[in-house]
Amino acid sequence: MPYNRRIINLVTINELIMKKAFPVLLLFSACFLFEEEDENQNTNLTLSEGAIGVTTVRLHVEPEDSLAQFTFELTRDDSTVQTLSLQSDTLIKDTGLNPNTSYTYTGYWMDGTKRIGESNTLTLTTMDTTSHNFTWEMDTLGEGGSYLNDVWIVDENDIWVVGALSIDDSTLDYRGDINYNIAHWNGEEWIYQLVFHSGVTLSSIYYFNENDIWVSSGIPYHWNGEVWTMYHLWNMDVLGPDDGNVTQLWGTSSSNMYFAGGKGSIVHYDGNEFVKMESGTDAVLRDICGKNADNIWVSGFSLVTSSEPSIILSYSKNSWEILHQSFGYNPVLDDSLSSYMYSNWSYGDTLYISCAGGLWKEHIIDGGWCFVSLDSVGMETNISKVRGTGYNDVFWLSAWGELVHYNGKDWKMVLDLSKIYTEFPISSRGLSVKENMVVFVGNINLLEHALIVRGYR
């Protein structure tokens, strides 16, 4: 099948200038008044790794006797970085560190200025920054209103995209209708496929292996290596007539899949049975992403009335809870997570939320939101997708082809199609990241071609 490709070399190599910074230590715990310690108290301490970033590390301090208040001293490379009063397990954040550098930490139980108990010694190495430099390839597929909604990278020679593709194929009864809804990149060309029948638009894909693939058109379909099986959740009495379709997919295996979508609908599949779950909202759920089987988040919003909330749901202990909600398209304030919440992605102890007003992140364990300002890179505030591979490799995609990258230290605009396609604007939707590859999909408006953009670092 024919398709067009443009090679774009937009990124010039910039030297990363590493500036030495004085480390700053922050404590995320309740503060206690200093009291005189009892020398007979149990002085066993354990120091363990919390989370490691590029310029920060988090450490857990765990006294064996959690009832005894004590003075704690932390050293980094034999220099004292903090002395404070603790009473129980505490998380400490050490900041201002250098990338790709090893630091040795030890904790001490203090009696005045005398060290009466010592923890284990812990050596941690901060992550290195990742490169902002990519080479880009663009493919256009289809015609007559073709567009793509989602993408999955297996490797550079195995990429799957889903959506609606109209292809002028002499072997088909082509009338400008949707006659394909999957395209597969085999390293040399795009091969078109059709799930179920023509006219079906696919909204999302979740890939486990070549014989275990899920897609959704609002109704889930599963590929077992031989056939596609459709699960019509209404005909199966899983969803009722007032429930919405399920367009978004996430899971740890085909025996633990979650499907989310309109009217707050969430369905779980355990490999044998589909069960509707209570979400506590009627909002349209537009993205679902998890850290593991016990930590999953859903984000979404509705456009019909201002009384319908933008929402983030959190899943743990077999139930969904509202983590945050706001009403209307509100401006982003420094102390308020607000406006349409479109996408979420988590890594380690951090949850990223992409909304119409910008990008936010939350420390999962301690709580507390932080607004990520991207004004310096020229990123417009708009509904967009967020994905990544680690603390030092996060991508944020705008709705019209702007892609910014965080390397663990700073953000940079790595591609801006809005300045290339000025006459025919871009609509971008799905985003996938795998190691040194990033791919996003959508369509070129007016030209009515589906668009696939591949970046190689």
Confidence of residue 243 (pLDDT cuts 50, 70, 90): very high
| One-character DSSP codes across 89-130 | -EEEEEESPPTT-EEEEEEEEEETTEEEEEEEEEEEEPPPP-
Strand partners, 128: none
Length of the chain, in residues? 457
* Architecture of the domain delimited by 24-125: Sandwich (2.60)
| One-character DSSP codes across 362-408 | EETTT--EEEE--GGGT----S-EEEEEETTEEEEE-TTSEEEEE-S
Spell out the residues 6+ positions from residue 157 whose beta carbon is closer than 8 angstroms to its own. Answer: 185, 186, 187
Spell out the residues 6+ positions from residue 335 whose beta carbon is closer than 8 angstroms to its own. Answer: none
Over 70: is that where the pLDDT of 239 sits?
A: yes
Mapped onto helix, strand or coil, the DSSP state of residue 48 is: strand
Query: Which residue would you say has higher pLDDT here, 173 or 257?
Result: 257
> How is the chain split into domains, by residue range?
24-125, 135-456
Over 50: is that where the pLDDT of 32 sits?
A: no
Over 70: is that where the pLDDT of 17 sits?
A: no
Write down the pLDDT at residue 336.
58
Over 90: is that where the pLDDT of 232 sits?
A: yes
What's the distance, CA 247 to chain centroid?
A: 17
Query: Which residue would you say has higher pLDDT here, 389 or 65?
Result: 389
Write down the pLDDT at residue 423.
77
Confidence of residue 198 (pLDDT cuts 50, 70, 90): confident
Phi, psi of 42 (to 5 degrees): -65, 125
Over 50: is that where the pLDDT of 9 sits?
A: no
Sheet holding 180-185, edge to edge: 143-155, 158-166, 180-185, 190-193
CATH number among 2.60.40.10, 3.30.70.270, 3.40.50.170, 2.130.10.10, domain 135-456: 2.130.10.10
Write down the pLDDT at residue 67.
57
Strand partners, 182: 162, 193
Report the distance separating Cα 301 and Cα 12, nearest Å.
38
Amino acid occupying residue 110: M
Phi, psi of 33 (to 5 degrees): -70, 145
Highest mean pLDDT among 172-176, 270-274, 282-286, 362-366: 270-274
Whether 245 and 238 have beta carbons less than 8 Å apart is answered as no
Q: 3-state SS of 166-186? A: ECCCCCCCCCCCCCEEEEEEC
Global pTM reads 0.85
For 40-82, the pLDDT digits (tens) are 555 688 999 988 999 999 999 988 766 567 788 999 998 999 8
Q: Identify the H or E element spanning 449.
A: strand 449-456
- pLDDT (average), residues 201-223: 97
Confidence of residue 150 (pLDDT cuts 50, 70, 90): very high
For 391-440, the pLDDT digits (tens) are 999 999 998 899 999 999 999 999 999 888 877 788 999 999 999 999 99
For 288-347, the pLDDT digits (tens) are 999 999 999 999 988 765 567 788 999 988 899 998 887 765 544 444 566 788 899 999
- pLDDT (average), residues 199-211: 96
Which of 125, 81, 68 has its CA nearest to residue 107?
81
Phi, psi of 28 (to 5 degrees): -105, 80
The structure tokens listed for 213 are: 């693939």
Which of 48, 57, 49 has its CA nearest to residue 23?
57
Least confident of 5-14, 118-127, 249-258, 285-294: 5-14
Q: How many CB atoms lie within 10 A of CB 11?
A: 19
Amino acid occupying residue 181: N
Strand partners, 438: 433, 455
Least confident of 142-156, 157-171, 207-221: 157-171
For 76-119, the pLDDT digits (tens) are 998 999 888 887 888 888 989 999 999 999 999 888 889 988 99
- Percent over 70 (pLDDT), the chain: 82
The structure tokens listed for 256 are: 């633990």
Mapped onto helix, strand or coil, the DSSP state of residue 417 is: helix
